């Protein structure tokens, strides 16, 4: 009888273990924990909630720019986090800033540190704060580590989602991300790009902007510490890569080719093709309006070329988008009153042939409203040595940006400029803004404007001869 009981207990234990090994619990601290004294209580509270891995927030960049003392306290903070991780038996990921002397000046080094349950640092991912810095301390490769709950994590900083072609890590289904970064391209800023990146890759992203469970989207409730139960292999169930935004949205479209959307014709359904150089986007748009005045214009946009992402980074992009704009969308798109639009998009379809190799494409849905999974479809297929990507949306309104954002990693480069301004610490050489596409567009514009006067002057000169 005793043997039978032991077998039953063993079976129950094995069954319980097997039922729980396909998930783990992640935590993200969203409140400010810049004070060293706050780290240990924060880690203790997460452990009480049975969190397996906790991501701490990065230090405030405004404080660092004002010569924060945190880099001077680097060793103290490391010891504090290590002791707390060991005491409460929890994995902790932290982004710290360290001061070093480099070429007779002080440089800041950004470091993502991973502590295991014994308080040991098991992964270090480092970068100079200034990407143009020529220090002996160079950036380390994107890190990874294996946990005792059977998950392999990649270690990232925010810009890596855009700058790095993570195909080499395609077998990794879980990533931790912490650090500071400001994107100059609105659609690539967190949290909206974090959402669409996790959706496209199907991987879990535990970041300081929230927890994103693969295709299931954002996970966990809004709180000072976001807690989420995640599947170890990522989430493949469909949700929607959309972020409801309540603030104003601005984008520089000066380099884009944009064709105004005819709202009268679109009520019957219109098809348009918009090209920027050899890169073309095909649109189908059908709309409905309640007849009220509409203060928002819509444009169908295409772009292929180089854009500033942040710091000294310039990235290759291929973009197709439908954009609502208040004002002159030929230069800058400023959406301030998009909530007042009366236009409902019964159907939008956008298709483009993107670069196949060394590239990536992402769906973009940014709105002041929410979009459900049954309204949205995103597909890719190889066609004539290109990646044919399509996106479709039904019964949507209050859109700030809808389309496909493509990355062409082969065109990326880092500027040598190393000048500083008061906003983000960097300015750029004017040559960084000039591309061959811009030059061609300038000459096309001048030719269109001047060809008639040139023709008239030529006739006059011939008659005078």
What would the pLDDT profile of 229-243 be if each residue is shown by its tens digit?
A: 999 998 777 665 655
The pLDDT-based confidence of 86 (bands split at 50, 70, 90) is: very high
**For a pLDDT cut of 70, what percent of the chain falls above it?**
72
CB within 8 Å of 462: residues ≥ 6 apart: none
Q: What's the rounded Cα separation, in Å, for the pair 78 and 36?
A: 10
Q: Is residue 180 predicted with pLDDT exceeding 70?
A: yes
The pLDDT-based confidence of 398 (bands split at 50, 70, 90) is: confident
Count of structural domains, the chain? 3
The residue range of the domain holding 226 is: 25-239
E strand or H helix at 11: helix 2-20
pLDDT digits (tens, 9 = 90+) for 419-444: 333 333 332 333 333 444 444 445 55
HSE toward the beta carbon, residue 397, CA cutoff 13 A: 11
Whether residues 159 and 274 fall in one domain = no
CATH number at residue 37: 3.60.110.10
Looking at 213, 239, 265, the residue that finishes a domain is 239
Q: Is residue 58 predicted with pLDDT exceeding 90?
A: no
Q: Which of 55, 28, 402 is nearest to 240 (CA)?
A: 402
Query: Averaged over 359-367, what is the pLDDT?
Result: 91
Query: Averaged over 67-71, what is the pLDDT?
Result: 53
Query: Averaged over 29-36, what is the pLDDT?
Result: 75
Whether residues 311 and 422 fall in one domain = yes
Two structure tokens written together for 223: 């709180």
Beta strands 225-231 and 91-102: pairing type?
unpaired
Question: For the ranges 278-287, 336-345, 413-422, which has the lowest average pLDDT?
Answer: 413-422
Query: Averaged over 358-362, what is the pLDDT?
Result: 95
The pLDDT-based confidence of 96 (bands split at 50, 70, 90) is: very high
| Domain-located, residue 342 | yes
Looking at 185, 220, 239, the residue that finishes a domain is 239
- Radius of gyration over alpha carbons of the chain, in Å? 26
Whether residues 268 and 382 fall in one domain = yes
| Domain-located, residue 427 | yes
Whether residues 334 and 428 fall in one domain = yes
Whether residues 188 and 269 fall in one domain = no
Q: What's the rounded Cα separation, in Å, for the pair 464 and 148?
A: 90
Whether residues 181 and 42 fall in one domain = yes
| Domain-located, residue 131 | yes
Q: Which of 232, 231, 162, 226 is nearest to 200 (CA)?
A: 162
Whether residues 232 and 317 fall in one domain = no
Query: Averaged over 378-401, what is the pLDDT?
Result: 91
Q: What's the rounded Cα separation, in Å, for the pair 395 and 399?
A: 11
The pLDDT-based confidence of 319 (bands split at 50, 70, 90) is: very high
Whether residues 256 and 211 fall in one domain = no
The pLDDT-based confidence of 102 (bands split at 50, 70, 90) is: confident
Q: Which of 175, 248, 240 is nearest to 209 (CA)?
A: 175
E strand or H helix at 91: strand 91-102
- Mean pLDDT for the chain? 80
Q: Is residue 401 predicted with pLDDT exceeding 90?
A: no
Count of all residues that appear for the chain in the document: 465
**For a pLDDT cut of 90, what percent of the chain falls above it?**
45
Whether residues 207 and 304 fall in one domain = no
pTM, two decimals, is: 0.80
| Domain-located, residue 255 | yes
State residue 311's pLDDT score.
Answer: 85
HSE toward the beta carbon, residue 448, CA cutoff 13 A: 6
| Domain-located, residue 311 | yes
Q: Which of 147, 137, 208 is nearest to 174 (CA)?
A: 147
The pLDDT-based confidence of 178 (bands split at 50, 70, 90) is: very high
Whether residues 140 and 155 fall in one domain = yes
The pLDDT-based confidence of 64 (bands split at 50, 70, 90) is: low
The pLDDT-based confidence of 136 (bands split at 50, 70, 90) is: low
């Amino acid at each position: 009888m005793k043997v039978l009981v032991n077998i039953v207990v063993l079976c129950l234990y094995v069954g319980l273990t097997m039922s729980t090994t396909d998930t783990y619990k992640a935590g993200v601290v969203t409140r400010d924990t810049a004070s060293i004294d706050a780290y240990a209580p924060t880690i203790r509270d997460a452990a009480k909630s049975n969190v397996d891995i906790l991501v701490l927030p990065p230090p405030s960049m405004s404080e660092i720019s004002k010569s924060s003392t945190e880099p001077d306290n680097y060793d103290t903070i490391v010891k504090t986090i290590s002791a707390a991780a060991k005491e409460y038996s929890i994995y902790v990921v932290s982004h710290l800033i360290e001061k070093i002397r480099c070429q007779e000046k002080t440089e800041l080094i950004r470091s993502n540190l991973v502590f295991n349950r014994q308080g040991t640092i098991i992964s270090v991912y480092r970068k100079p704060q200034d990407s143009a810095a020529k220090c002996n301390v160079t950036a380390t490769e994107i890190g990874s580590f294996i946990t005792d709950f059977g998950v392999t994590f990649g270690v990232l900083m925010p810009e890596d989602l855009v700058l790095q072609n993570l195909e080499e890590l395609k077998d990794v289904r879980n990533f931790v991300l912490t650090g500071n970064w400001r994107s100059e391209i609105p659609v690539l800023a967190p949290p909206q790009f974090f959402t669409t990146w996790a959706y496209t890759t199907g991987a879990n992203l535990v970041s300081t902007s929230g927890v994103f469970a693969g295709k299931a989207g954002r996970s966990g409730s809004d709180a000072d510490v976001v807690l989420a139960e995640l599947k170890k292999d990522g989430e493949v169930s469909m949700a929607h890569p959309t972020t409801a935004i309540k603030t104003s949205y601005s984008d520089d479209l000066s380099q884009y080719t944009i064709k105004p959307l005819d709202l009268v014709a679109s009520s019957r359904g219109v098809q348009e093709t918009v090209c920027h150089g050899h890169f073309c986007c095909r649109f189908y748009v059908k709309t409905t309006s309640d007849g009220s005045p509409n203060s928002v214009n819509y444009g169908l946009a295409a772009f292929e070329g180089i854009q500033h992402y942040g710091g000294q980074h310039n990235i290759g992009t291929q973009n197709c988008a439908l954009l609502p704009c208040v004002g002159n969308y030929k230069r800058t798109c400023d959406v301030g009153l998009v909530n007042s639009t009366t236009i409902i998009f019964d159907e939008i379809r956008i298709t483009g042939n993107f670069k196949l190799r060394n590239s990536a494409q992402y769906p973009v849905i940014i709105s002041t409203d929410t979009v459900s999974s049954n309204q949205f479809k995103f597909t890719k297929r190889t066609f004539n040595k290109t990646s044919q990507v399509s996106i479709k949306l039904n019964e949507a309104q209050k859109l700030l940006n809808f389309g496909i954002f493509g990355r062409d990693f082969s065109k990326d480069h880092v500027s040598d400029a190393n000048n500083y301004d008061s906003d983000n610490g960097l300015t750029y050489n004017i040559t960084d803004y000039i591309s061959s596409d811009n030059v061609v567009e300038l000459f096309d514009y001048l030719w269109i404007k001047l060809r008639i006067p040139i023709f008239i002057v030529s006739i006059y000169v011939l008659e005078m001869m």
